[in-house]
Structure 1
Amino acid sequence: PPYPQGATAPPYPQAATAPPYPQGATAPPYPQGATAPPYPQAVVPPPPGSPLHPHHISTERGRVHIAGQQRHTDATAFGNLLLHLPNFLCSLVVVTLVSLLFGGFGVVLILAWLVSGALVFHRPTESALARHLLRLRYPTPQERAKLEPVWREVTARAGVEGRNYELWVEDSDSLNAVAAAGHIVGVTSFAMNNLPNGELAAVMAHELGHHVGGHAWSGLLGYWYALPGRIAWRLLRAVTGFLFRVSRAFSCLGVAFFGLCVGGIAFATISTLYGLPLLLLGMPYALAAVGRRSELRADQHAAALGFAPMLAAVLEKLHQQEQVRIATLTAANRGAPVTETAASRLLSSHPDHHTRLHHLQPYLRPTR
C-alpha cells in the first residue's frame, strides 16, 4: 500500500561494521608463524579390518603349546545326556516294536540303531550333516585366508589342535555361528566380513568352548537317539487327530467314546511304564535350561582366553539385531507391542542379553 501523503519511507538499515579502534590504537598483530586452529573434524572409527580398530588382534604367533587333554565332558554335557535318557528309552521301545516286524533280524536292527550313534564323530557323516541340515559350505580360498589365522590364534590360546576341526561358512546376513557334531565350526558370511578379527575370534572361541566342553556332540547324540520316539509321537498325533475328526461326525457320543479310548490307552501306558511318559512333558523345559547353561559356559571359555571385551561387543550387536527384529514385528502388528510369553522364555535355548553380560563382568573388570 502507498505511504500516507507527506510521509517518507524510513531508511533501509545499512550493513553493520565493526566499531573503529580508539584514535592512536592499532589492532594487535597475529603471531608470526601461527595459523588459525583447524575446524574440528568428525571422528570416523576405523573399519573392522583395520589394525587401528580397538578389537583388532595380532595373529602372528610362533611356537604353540598343545594341551594334553583336548576336550572333556563338563556338567552341562553330562546333564544333557542324562535328560535325554527318557527319550532314549522311549525310542528303544519304538525300535523294538518295529523290529518285531522283521522276525529274527529284529535283534540286528536294534543293535545297528544302538551303534549308529558313533556316526556323530564320522567325518563324512558330519560333512553331509553340515551341507544338508545346517546349510553350510566349505570356505573359498579368500575366505579361508581370512578365517584360518584367526582360528589358529583361538586354538593356540586354548592349547587345542586346530586341525582337528573343520571350518565352514553359512551364507547369511545375520550374526551367528554354530558348533555341531564332533568337528564342525561354522560362521556366517556376515560375521566373517563385518566383524573385526578380534570379535570374530571371540565368536569362534565361543563355538570352540562348545566342542571342548562336549556340548556339541552330546546334544547331537541325544537328538539322534530321541529321533525314533519323536517320529512315533508325530505319527501318533496325526492318527489321533484324524480319529478325533471322524468321531465328531457321530456327535457328542462319538467324541466321548473317543476320549474314553484315548484316556484308557494313556493310563495303561503310564501305569505300565511306571509314569515314565509323564517325564517327557517336562523334558523340553529341562533341556532348554541346560542349553542356556551351556551357552554361559561357552561364553566363559571365550572370556578366559582373553576375548571378553570382544565378546561383549558381539553380544551388543546381537542385541541390536534383536531390537530391530522386534521393531519390525511391532510395525507389522500395527504398532501393537510383541511380548514374549513365559513359556517361550523357558523354552529359549539362549540366555537373554543382560544375563550373558552379567556373567562376563568378572572378566571385564580391570585387574589390579
Structure 2
Amino acid sequence: MADLDDLEYRHAAGKRLHLTAHQRRVDAATLGRLVLHLPGLLLSLGTVLIVGWLLELAWGMPFWLPALLWMASGALVFHRPTEDLYARHVLRFRYPLPHEHARLEPVWREVTGRAGVEGNRYRLWIDNREDLNAYAAAGHIVGVTRFALEHLSSAQLAAVLAHELGHHTGGHSWSTLIGHWYALPGRAACRAGRAVLARTTSGALRICCLVTAVLAVAFVITVLRPASVLLVGPPLLLLVLPYAMAALNRRAELRADRHAALLGFAPMLVEVLLAVEGGTTPEHLAHGSAMSTGPDARSSLSAHLLASHPDCATRLHHLRPYLASQR
C-alpha cells in the first residue's frame, strides 16, 4: 500500500474548514446537457401521457397522474437510500472495508478541505474491478476501484478524487443520471416500435419506406421551404444529438480536470493520465485503464466525435498552464 507521507494533510479533524457559499453549481456543460435532454424528456412525457390515457380508459385513473408521479420521481436522484441501492445493485459497488476507509478518508478530507466542500455530504464506495478508475454518480456517490486504492500514491489518489468531486460540484453527475432516467420511457417506446416494425414488415417494404422518407425530405426542402425547418429539423436534431452530447461530455471532463488543477493537484493528475497512456509513471500503473482518456490516434473520426472523454494529449494540453503555476 502506498505511503501516506507524500501528501500534506492540512485539514485534519477538529480544525475549522472554510466552506464555499455554493456547494454545487450548474456550469455550462451541465446546462448544455439539460438542454440536449429536452427532446428525450418530451418524447418520454408523451409516452407516459399515452399510458395514462390507456389506464384512464381501463380503470378510470386520471390520465395525468402517471405523468405527475414520473416527473416527481426525478427527486430520487438525490435520495440517499435510493442512491445506496443504485450504487450497490446497479453499479455493483460495496462499502469500504475498515482498512480501505482508513486509507480513503484522510485523502478525501484533504480534497474536500481544499475545495471548501462538506465532505460528509458524499459517500465513498469501492469497486472491486482490477483497473484504475474512479466514478462520480447520482447526487452523492464517489467510487474508486480497489486497484487505484492499492496502487496509487496518496497524492495521485487525491488528484483522482478531486477530479470526481469536480463532476459533483459542477452538476455533471446528477444531470447525467436524471437525463437518462427521464429518457427511459421514450427509449422503451422507440424500441417497442422498432421491434413491431421489424416483425410486421418485410425487408423490401422497409427499404421502400426509407426511399419514400428520403424523397419526402427532398420535396420539403425544394418545394415547401418555409415548412422545411419544422419538418426536417427534428430528424436532423436526432442525428446530431449524440455528437453534441459527446462533445459536452468531453467538456465536462476538462472542467473536472480544471477543478482538480485549481486545488493544486495538476502534477499528480498528469502522472495518472500518463500512467494510463503507459508513460513515465511507475510500471505497475501503466496497466490500468481508468479515467478514460478517449480514443487513440488510430480510431476513426466517428469514434473521436462520439468519445465521452478527451484524448490524453488534449487533457495534458489543458493542464499545462497549471503545471507552470504550481512549480
Q: Which residue of 1 aligns with 2:25?
A: 72
Work out which of the residue numbers 98, 102, 105 in structure 1 matches 2:62.
105
Q: Which residue of 2 aligns with 1:9?
A: none
Work out which of the residue numbers 262, 280, 285 in structure 2 matches 1:304.
262
1:1-368 aligned within 5 A: 48-49=2-3, 51=5, 56-60=6-10, 61=12, 62-103=15-56, 104-244=61-201, 247-248=202-203, 254=205, 275-320=233-278, 339-366=298-325
Tell me which amino acid in the other structure corresponds to 1:71: R
Asked if structure 1 preserves the Cα contact closer than 8 Å seen for 2:276 and 2:287, the reply is no
Secondary structure of the 1:340 match is coil
Aligned residues: 301
Alignment CA distance shift 1:338-1:345 (3 Å): closer
Alignment CA distance shift 1:113-1:50 (3 Å): closer
Following TM superposition, by how much is the alpha carbon of 1:276 offset from its aligned partner in structure 2, in angstroms? Answer: 2.7
Asked if structure 2 preserves the Cα contact closer than 8 Å seen for 1:86 and 1:279, the reply is no
C-alpha separation between the residues in 2 aligned to 1:89 and 1:311? 39
Asked if structure 2 preserves the Cα contact closer than 8 Å seen for 1:87 and 1:280, the reply is no
C-alpha separation between the residues in 1 aligned to 2:213 and 2:89? 38
C-alpha separation between the residues in 2 aligned to 1:96 and 1:271? 27
Alignment CA distance shift 1:111-1:146 (3 Å): same
Following TM superposition, by how much is the alpha carbon of 1:87 offset from its aligned partner in structure 2, in angstroms? Answer: 1.1
Asked if structure 2 preserves the Cα contact closer than 8 Å seen for 1:288 and 1:346, the reply is yes
Asked if structure 1 preserves the Cα contact closer than 8 Å seen for 2:275 and 2:288, the reply is no
Tell me which amino acid in the other structure corresponds to 1:319: E
Tell me which amino acid in the other structure corresponds to 2:244: A
Deviation digits for residues 192-244 of structure 1, max 9, x if unmatched? 11000000000000000000011111111111111111111222222222234
Following TM superposition, by how much is the alpha carbon of 1:338 offset from its aligned partner in structure 2, in angstroms? Answer: 9.6
Tell me which amino acid in the other structure corresponds to 1:302: A
C-alpha separation between the residues in 2 aligned to 1:172 and 1:325? 11
Tell me which amino acid in the other structure corresponds to 2:2: P
Q: More displaced, 206-215 or 133-142? A: 133-142
Secondary structure of the 1:138 match is coil
C-alpha separation between the residues in 2 aligned to 1:94 and 1:354? 43
Following TM superposition, by how much is the alpha carbon of 1:100 offset from its aligned partner in structure 2, in angstroms? Answer: 1.4
Following TM superposition, by how much is the alpha carbon of 1:142 offset from its aligned partner in structure 2, in angstroms? Answer: 1.0
Alignment CA distance shift 1:305-1:275 (3 Å): same
C-alpha separation between the residues in 2 aligned to 1:230 and 1:264? 27
Structure 2's unaligned 5+ residue stretches are 221-227, 280-284, 290-295
Asked if structure 2 preserves the Cα contact closer than 8 Å seen for 1:179 and 1:185, the reply is yes
C-alpha separation between the residues in 1 aligned to 2:7 and 2:76? 37
C-alpha separation between the residues in 1 aligned to 2:46 and 2:183? 11
Secondary structure of the 1:320 match is coil
C-alpha separation between the residues in 1 aligned to 2:67 and 2:321? 49
Asked if structure 1 preserves the Cα contact closer than 8 Å seen for 2:264 and 2:326, the reply is no
Q: Which residue of 2 aligns with 1:37?
A: none
C-alpha separation between the residues in 2 aligned to 1:228 and 1:118? 17
Following TM superposition, by how much is the alpha carbon of 1:262 offset from its aligned partner in structure 2, in angstroms? Answer: 7.7
Alignment CA distance shift 1:273-1:227 (3 Å): farther
Root-mean-square deviation (CA), in Å? 2.9
C-alpha separation between the residues in 2 aligned to 1:121 and 1:312? 32
